Amino acid sequence: MTLMNTYPPQPVTFVRGLGSELWDVDGKRYLDFLCGLAVTGLGHSHPVVAEAIAEQARTLQHVSNLYGTTIGPEVAATLDRLVGTEPGKVFFANSGAEANECAIKLARKWGGRGKYAVVSAFGSFHGRTLVTLHATGQPAKHEPFQPLPEGFRHVGWNDLDELERAIDPTVAAVLLEPVQGEGGVQPATPEFFQGVRRICDERGVLFIVDEVQTGLGRTGEWFGFQHFGVAPDVITMAKALGNGMPIGACWARADVADAFEPGDHATTFGGQPLAASAARAVLAVMEAEDVPARARKAGERVTQALEDVDGIAAVRGLGLLIAAELADGLDAKVVATAALDAGLVVNAVTPTALRLAPSLLISEDEIDEGVAILRKVLE
């Protein structure tokens, strides 16, 4: 094994995927209720996305961002339309953490000297680079890497009073997920998001929404913030945008985006034709299939079915980003391992809860099959 020791031993080696199905090296079939980690929103090997990548690979794979391409601007325009607030501009990156790095640098440039701090929430997850690690409100993850870059503070999740108290003239931005994904699938309350918008307006602070896990239909809206009737200043996304092809994006309202000048930020690969062609195909399929509506409908079916399963105490989430809180005494890791043995991919998002993030195109039969496997495992 020549890989660095950053993940626990991997229990299965997958070699093929199609739609909601995966096959391992021994030919065993699995139903995928996790989609990577909320990445393959259109399922594995979607034919339209696969064809777009193959065709682009034969046409033009890469030019540097010193030169133009036609695809990136097209994808940016579609994202801007789906965000649906004021006109914005997009920077393409290669991952969620990089999209957040861009947002945080943009907030600092916009804030100017002395206005640089970012307030985020305990329980949040924003990435693993040094800056996004510090934005991530999980102190245990910080410890081995101290000292981390300055300018980050954390407040209780959904605690508006604490957030307001944390804002002083050094704060440039508030950074929040609409649903804390890695933090256990914990949705924000509408009052919290609406209150944050009001406070940011009053105090001259940017509201950055991290839609890396929640964006692009997953929660039953194009973006999670759309559940709460607020308009962020900056939005980051990644995961589902390429359906597995690495691409991230940082969208910002045009006047905020204009704080960046040439030379302020850059990337070798971000927005390159190959990844952008995947994103263009993904967005076209997502719009044609109306994935937010499908996620709402499928999410209701999954939630209702799980509520009837012995061994599941509570179900929470939005759309197809769902956590099943297990009954007392059940260990989520043990249950997730047993589910994998039984042919269902889910993960333990906390010690007591499973996360389910199936394909946005999952069929009713596949939902029923997955829930039946889980029911049997919990029996």
Residues 6+ away with beta carbon under 8 Å from 92: 72, 75, 76, 247, 248, 249, 267, 270, 271, 275, 276
d(CA 185, CA 153): 21
Supply the minimum distance, in Å, between the C-beta of residue 74 and ligand PLP.
22
d(CA 284, CA 277): 11
Supply the minimum distance, in Å, between the C-beta of residue 97 and ligand PLP.
3
Supply the minimum distance, in Å, between the C-beta of residue 194 and ligand PLP.
20
Catalytic residue numbers read 125, 210, 239
Per DSSP, the three-state class of 379 is: coil
Binding site for ligand PLP (CB under 6 A): 37, 95-97, 100, 125-127, 177, 181-182, 210, 212-213, 238
Residue nearest to ligand PLP (CB): 96
Residues 6+ away with beta carbon under 8 Å from 299: 220, 317, 318, 319, 320, 321, 322
Supply the minimum distance, in Å, between the C-beta of residue 335 and ligand PLP.
21
User: Radius of gyration of the chain from Cα atoms?
Assistant: 20
In terms of CB distance, is 354 or 371 closer to ligand PLP?
354
In terms of CB distance, is 96 or 299 closer to ligand PLP?
96
Output the 3-class SS for 276-320: HHHHHHHHHHHHHHCHHHHHHHHHHHHHHHHHCCCCEEEEEEECC
**Residue 317: beta bridge partners?**
322
In terms of CB distance, is 56 or 186 closer to ligand PLP?
186
In terms of CB distance, is 176 or 367 closer to ligand PLP?
176
Supply the minimum distance, in Å, between the C-beta of residue 95 and ligand PLP.
4
The one-letter amino acid code at 90 reads V
The two tokens of residue 228 are 């709460």
Supply the minimum distance, in Å, between the C-beta of residue 305 and ligand PLP.
25
User: In sequence order, what DSSP letters do the residues of 183-201 get, joined into one string?
Assistant: TTSEEPPHHHHHHHHHHHH
Supply the minimum distance, in Å, between the C-beta of residue 124 and ligand PLP.
7
d(CA 100, CA 212): 9
In terms of CB distance, is 181 or 184 closer to ligand PLP?
181
- Give ∠ CA 159-161-167 in degrees, rounded to 5: 105
H-type alpha helices, the chain? 35-38, 47-59, 71-83, 96-111, 130-135, 139-142, 160-166, 190-203, 254-257, 273-289, 291-307, 332-341, 364-378
Query: What is the phi/psi pair of residue 20, to 5°?
Result: -95, 10
In terms of CB distance, is 96 or 184 closer to ligand PLP?
96
Query: What is the phi/psi pair of residue 19, to 5°?
Result: 60, -125
In terms of CB distance, is 37 or 340 closer to ligand PLP?
37
Per DSSP, the three-state class of 255 is: helix
